[in-house]
Amino acid sequence: MRPYALTIAGFDPSAGAGVLADVKTMEASGVYGLAACTALTVQNDVAFERVNWVPLADIQDQVQLLLVRFPVKFIKIGLFESLPLLLELIRWLKAYNPAVQLIWDPVLQATAGYEFHARPDIELLQAICCELALLTPNRPEALRLLPAASPEAAAETLAVWCPVLLKGGHAEGDFATDVLLMPEVRHTLASPRLPHGEKHGSGCVLSAAILARLALGDDLPEACWQGKTYTAAFLGSNDTWLGYHSFLEVL
């Protein structure tokens, strides 16, 4: 029996990001993926027009029916209407199951440039992070969440509150280097930068792959490494903006 994992995120009609990409990633990783929708977006892989938010009560109703039936211990949260509502959802999830492991992929801006959130209040951000098993910002998101001299400095401050995987896709160089910051330990995860390494929804794929590996029993450093390995295969699967997940069939 495959373990279950749940994504709570937006619906992207192109299936490159959001719940569709998350479920494809989890299925390909050996986990049964469940999903609850937080937003209906009008977009494709290169253009974003608008978003219609799903009310929090409706999100909770979706999730509750799943949690009643399926033993879900690992949940990823992506696109969300507001950070106060995100904190409300997180506390509701933790009240239902205090042991649930939560990953937040802070989707602050669409690939096409549409901005979802202004810079958050630091006390609100701290309250959210203290409930997380992992936060997965890219370099611009780290600075957007917490202004600092560098993305690394922002990530180090965030890591006081929860483990942080600072993604290196936006940096330059021959290697794409992610950094996992945990209490009193740092793990550097480097892989060769691919010539066609840009994909719509790659951050969604990475966080979903990490979630799947945690559900399969990996510890956090190993889950992050396996998630990065999966994402590298996704990024290298073709030279378009939309990657493939069925690697064995495609390659």
Give me the residue spans of the domains in the chain.
Answer: 4-250
Q: SS3 for 94?
A: helix
C-alpha to C-alpha distance for 32 and 21, rounded to whole angstroms: 13
Determine contact, residues 16/171, Cβ cutoff 8 Å: no
Task: Determine how β-strand 48-53 pairs with β-strand 4-11.
Answer: unpaired
Cα–Cα distance for residue pair 156/144, rounded to 1 Å: 14
Q: With cut-offs at 50, 70 and 90, classify the pLDDT of residue 90.
A: very high
Structural tokens at position 131: 């409930």
Q: What is the mean pLDDT of the chain?
A: 90
Overall CATH class of domain 4-250 = alpha beta
Residue 73, pLDDT score: 97
Query: pLDDT digit string (tens) for 100-156?
Result: 999 999 987 655 555 566 677 899 999 999 999 999 999 999 998 998 989 999 999
Tell me the torsion sign for CA atoms 106, 115, 42, 58: positive
**Model confidence at 166: pLDDT above 80:** yes
DSSP 109: B
**Position 170 confidence tier, pLDDT thresholds 50, 70, 90:** low
Instruction: State mean pLDDT over 216-228.
Output: 97
Number of residues that this document lists for the chain: 251
